Every structure is written in C-alpha cells, then in structure tokens.
A and B are shown apart, each in its own frame.
Chain A
Amino acid sequence: MLKVQLSSTCLPEKGCYLRGNDYSPVAVVVLLNAPYGAMPPEVQTIPKEIENLVKVAIETGAALSGTLQTENVGIEKIVCNIVANPNIRYLIVCGNEVQGHNTGTAMKALIENGIDERRTIIDSQAKTPYLFNIPLEAIYRFREQLTLIDLIGETDPEVIMKGVWSCYQENPTPFKEWKLYDPGAYSDSGISCSLTWKVKHPEEVEDWEIDEILKGIEEPEEPAEKFKKIGGEDMKGGRGALAITKRLLKVTEELSEIARLCIEEIERLEIPPEREVKKEGVVEPEKARPAVKPVAAPKEEPETEEELYFSNQMRGYSGVLAAFEALDGDICHNGCSLPAAVITAQKRLKRLKEDISNSSFSDGKKEELENRLNDFMERLESLPQDTSQPCQKTVGKCTIGAGCFASGALKLMDLITEPAAPKNL
C-alpha cells in the first residue's frame, strides 16, 4: 500500500488541531458550536466535550483532528493542511452544527458540489462561504482526495472512535452507511500551500463586492508552465514541477525566517544588560506601535452612578449635535423638523444643567460639566429654531419617505439606557 512520508513541518497552516499519525487515512473535524475566546493558538474557551472529541479522534489514530468554526477561513485552513498530506483520504465531520455559520453543511457542500466561478461554495447554507485565500488547485485536489464521512450532529465519542478506526482497516469495514478501508495515499504528491490572506475578513464581504475582489486574486501562472516554456520539457505533467517549485518557495521562506531569528538573537546579545531588562517586558515591539496616533489619555473614569449618568448624556449629545450641524447644511435648514429637534435638545440640556447644579458634585466638577453644556448650548443657538418654516416633505424637497433625519438624530439619546437618572434630581 502506497504511503507518503511527510516532513515534520509539512502542515502549512496553524490552527486548533492536533497532529497524530501522518500515515493515517483519516482527518477529523469537530464543529465548534461555541463562542470564540480568541483566535488560535490562544483559544481558551473550547467546551470540554468538543475538546474531548478532538482528543479521542487523535488517540484512535487520526492523522489530524481539530475544531472548525468559520465557513471561510476555517475551511481554507483545513483544505491547506489536508492537501499537504496525500495519505488522508477521509474527512469525518462531526459535532453539532455551528449556529449562524452553518459550517458543517458548507464543508459538505464543498466536497459534494465544489465552488463556482465566484469562489463561493455551491449550494451552501452558510452566509459567507467564500474561499478567496487558497489556490483553486488545492480546492480541486481536496475534493478529489477526500471522501466525506458526514457525522454532523454526532457528539458520541464512541461513534467517532468507531468511524476513525474503520477508516484505516485493510478490508472494507461497515460503518453506518459506508464501507470503509484504507485505500492508500492519493496518487499525486501533496500540495504545499498556505493562505494568501488577500481577503482577511471574508465575513464582511458582501455579494456585490465579489467580482471586484476576484480581479485582485487571479491565479498566478503556474511555475510548471514557466518551466515548460524555459526548458521545453513537461515535468511529470506539470504537477511535479509545481510541487517542487512550491516546496522551494517554502524552503526559501523558512530560510529567511531562520536568518531573521539569527539576526534577532545576535542583536539581543549585543544589547547592554540594562536595555535588555527593559526589552523583556515588551512582547512584540513592532506590533506594539499603533499606526494611528494614540488618543489623548482616557478621560477620568466616572466613579459614581451620578457621574456616569452625566458623562453618558454628554457623550450622546456630542453625536446628536454633530448630526444637527450636518443637517443644517442640508435642506433641513429651511424645514421645521430640525428647529423642532433643536428646541427639544435645548430644553433637555437646560434641564440637564439644572440637574448638574442640584447634583452632589464638587463645585469644580459642576463647573467642568456646565462648561461642556454651555458649549453644547452655544452650538445649538447657532442652529435654526424657527418652527414656522414649511415641512420639507410638504414642499416636496424631502423625499426620504415618512422618516426624518432630525428626529432620528435626537433618538440617538434613547440608546442610553443606563444608568437611570439619579433619584435626587
């Protein structure tokens, strides 16, 4: 039986998985129907029963076993890691479906139907089943190389164990509706590819954006084709040359990584001891630098409910006033709704000012808050307040329908639901 030996570093993508016997013909995906803690490898919140399924699969003899949550990047990582190992011929997908993502059905649809020209998994029920970050070749191979063992909804470790065990039997072994056995490695060598990250947040991609995105991720000319042109000789149908080229690329990347580590190490040794001590506290100096200039030091944290109430009101009115000022530059300037909203805001701010003076704050604090309120009041004074102007809907200028931007802006204050106004006010 043909089996392929893998190097210890052959898995291109990191993730929440365990690596077992490389010669095993089965990988296990446990659907992670649980909230994320953080991205791998710092995931802390995997429920015990899911973690147990992952472990059980590895202990029973799977080549890889891990969790899957997202229907795009998650699946892409799995594709990369599986096509790298041609010994894997079965993919067991188990665990409860990931609510909201529908990742299990997306994986099933990928293997059964593949992707369309928009790199979208065909007939998937997932919301964003886009595979933008991996080569098409890897997707085709993934589908050719694997047989899906659909155990979506199954959480019994005994069943998973039986499934894994059946996959590596030499003779066809009945397991549910399948007859499983180890058919040996896939006839072609493994494909080494990793995520391009050209689309970092596929979950944010909207349908109408896809065509534009696709323009930016055209498949590069296969290195094998280049070899053909240069040498005029087909190297094992092109695939062999492609694999060699990709491996060379990987080796180059690894060498540059080693070189970088060496430089860092040498530099570290050259740093005087005092500076070295300082550096220990910093995890990743390059990343620690923010791209945007830092905000002014955070405002003093409100300590009491009373302080928090006024602080929240101020935050809300700053947004409302900005909206009013923008509307003042629009047709609302000549309408009646903006003045009405402005007058309402003025009344409320006056009330707020009274509340501040009746509050238990120190004089300094009161003055600070009143100054801010006065600033708001001044800004409101400069906005239109003549409610006798015609409604811009009536005169046919406002055509947005029954809604109103001015009153909508004022409703931003309704977002503040905590804390309730202090009782002493």
Chain B
Amino acid sequence: MATYFTNQFRGYNVVLATLQAFSKDICRRCIGLSGAKTKVIKGLRKLRMDLDKSSILEDDKQEIMVHIDSCEKIASAIEIEEECECQKTAGNCKIGPGCFALGALELMREIIEPAPKAEEEEVIKVAKLVCEKCGAEEPVPVVH
C-alpha cells in the first residue's frame, strides 16, 4: 500500500520542479500556473489525509509524511503574481492551445499503478467486517 503513496510523491516531486521552472517565465502571471499550484496543494493535502487513514506501518507513514511536508513547502513557495490572467488571452503566450503548467500537472497521469485508495478503502472495509464477525482486531486487512 505504501507504493501508492511513494509513487504519488515521486510524481509530485517532478511536477513541482517543472512548475517552479515555469514560475520564472510568463506563467508567473498566468491562471494556468495558479490553478496547477492549487491542484498540487490540494492533491498533497488529500494524500496526507489518505495516508493518515491508511493502515501502512507507522515508520513508513512517517517517512512518506516527511516527503509530503517537503512537497507542500515547495508548492506553497511557487511564486505567482496576485493578479493573474491567462497569458494566451493577454497575448503573451503563443505556444498554441497547449499549456505548460497544465502539461506539467499531467505528468501525474504517468502513474497508472497501483490503483488509488478507493480500492484499498474497500479492502479495509471488507476486512473490517470480516474481523468484526470473528471478533479479531487486525491492524491490516486480513481475510479470515
């Protein structure tokens, strides 16, 4: 299960580096970058919440949490101007319909495995029900 979280923060790590590079460009004034930053911050928050709820070993959890903390700091530090507008609309970005900031965010789509937490939560739920039947309290999903 820790693999899911590890892959996620690996992905965010590269996304954040790319966004930081674009923040030195005209993207700094762009709603595309602003939106990508928000999405990353939210995604990391969600990852933290999922990690809290997960049943992975406490040590692993702490280790992943450190990475998430670090990513969150980097994400918050991405500098964006207070008043942003789409730089295509403003006539400054002329790369075509594509958007570098959103493209960077798309790097997260390279992660295909393992399937996200929805399945894991389902497993936990089932295991918990089974455990409740036999009265056993298991910290990790177990099928009796």
Which residue from B18, B82, B107 sits with its C-beta under 8 Å from A292?
A: B82
Q: Which residues of B contact A411 (CB under 8 A)?
A: 103
Q: Which residues of B contact A418 (CB under 8 A)?
A: 94-96
Shortest Cβ distance from residue A199 to the other chain B in the assembled complex, whole angstroms = 13
With A290-B81, A292-B81, A403-B111 as known contacts, state yes or no: A308 contacts B94, CB within 8 Å: yes
Residue B109 at the chain A interface, CB threshold 8 Å: yes
Shortest Cβ distance from residue A93 to the other chain B in the assembled complex, whole angstroms = 31
Q: Which residues of B contact A404 (CB under 8 A)?
A: 110
Interface size of A by CB at 8 A reads 46
Instruction: Assess the A401–B111 pair: CB atoms within 8 A.
Output: yes
Interface residues of A in 376-422 (CB under 8 A from B): 399-405, 408-409, 411-412, 414-419
Residue B97 at the chain A interface, CB threshold 8 Å: yes
- State in angstroms the CA–CA spacing of A318 and B82 once bound together: 23
Shortest Cβ distance from residue B120 to the other chain A in the assembled complex, whole angstroms = 15
Instruction: Assess the A292–B79 pair: CB atoms within 8 A.
Output: yes
Residue B113 at the chain A interface, CB threshold 8 Å: yes
Instruction: Assess the A417–B98 pair: CB atoms within 8 A.
Output: yes
Closest chain B residue, CB of each to CB of A411: B103
Instruction: Assess the B113–A412 pair: CB atoms within 8 A.
Output: no
Which residue from A302, A405, A412 sits with its C-beta under 8 Å from B10?
A: A405
Q: Which of A142-150, A324-332, A360-368 makes up part of the contact surface?
A: A324-332
Residue B13 at the chain A interface, CB threshold 8 Å: yes
With A294-B81, A298-B92 as known contacts, state yes or no: A409 contacts B98, CB within 8 Å: no
Instruction: Assess the A400–B80 pair: CB atoms within 8 A.
Output: no
Instruction: Assess the A405–B16 pair: CB atoms within 8 A.
Output: no
Which residue from B24, B79, B92, B112 sits with its C-beta under 8 Å from A403?
A: B112
Interface size of B by CB at 8 A reads 46
Residue B141 at the chain A interface, CB threshold 8 Å: no
Instruction: Assess the A401–B113 pair: CB atoms within 8 A.
Output: yes
Q: Which residues of B contact A329 (CB under 8 A)?
A: 13
Residue A1 at the chain B interface, CB threshold 8 Å: no
Which residue from B3, B80, B104 sits with its C-beta under 8 Å from A323?
A: B104
Q: Which residues of B contact A402 (CB under 8 A)?
A: 112
Shortest Cβ distance from residue B25 to the other chain A in the assembled complex, whole angstroms = 6
Residue A117 at the chain B interface, CB threshold 8 Å: no
- State in angstroms the CA–CA spacing of A318 and B81 once bound together: 20
Closest chain A residue, CB of each to CB of B112: A401
Residue B125 at the chain A interface, CB threshold 8 Å: no
Instruction: Assess the A315–B110 pair: CB atoms within 8 A.
Output: no
Which residue from A315, A326, A403 sits with its C-beta under 8 Å from B13?
A: A326
Residue A157 at the chain B interface, CB threshold 8 Å: no
Residue B140 at the chain A interface, CB threshold 8 Å: no
Q: Which residues of B contact A223 (CB under 8 A)?
A: none
Closest chain B residue, CB of each to CB of A412: B103
Most chain A CB within 10 A, of B45, B100, B113, is at: B100
Residue B55 at the chain A interface, CB threshold 8 Å: no
Interface residues of B (CB under 8 A from A): 3, 6-7, 10-11, 13-14, 16-18, 20-22, 24-26, 28-29, 38, 42, 45-46, 49, 79-83, 92, 94-100, 103-104, 106-107, 109-114
Extra contacts, 11 of them, besides A290-B82, A321-B21, A401-B110 (Cβ < 8 A), are A290-B83, A315-B25, A315-B100, A319-B104, A322-B17, A326-B13, A329-B13, A400-B110, A400-B111, A405-B10, A412-B100
Q: Which 4 A-B pairs have the closest CB atoms?
A: A401-B112, A403-B110, A415-B98, A417-B96
A-B pairs with beta carbons under 8 Å apart, 21 shown: A208-B49, A209-B42, A290-B82, A295-B81, A308-B94, A319-B103, A322-B21, A323-B107, A327-B14, A330-B10, A330-B14, A399-B113, A399-B114, A401-B112, A402-B112, A404-B110, A408-B106, A408-B107, A415-B96, A418-B94, A419-B94
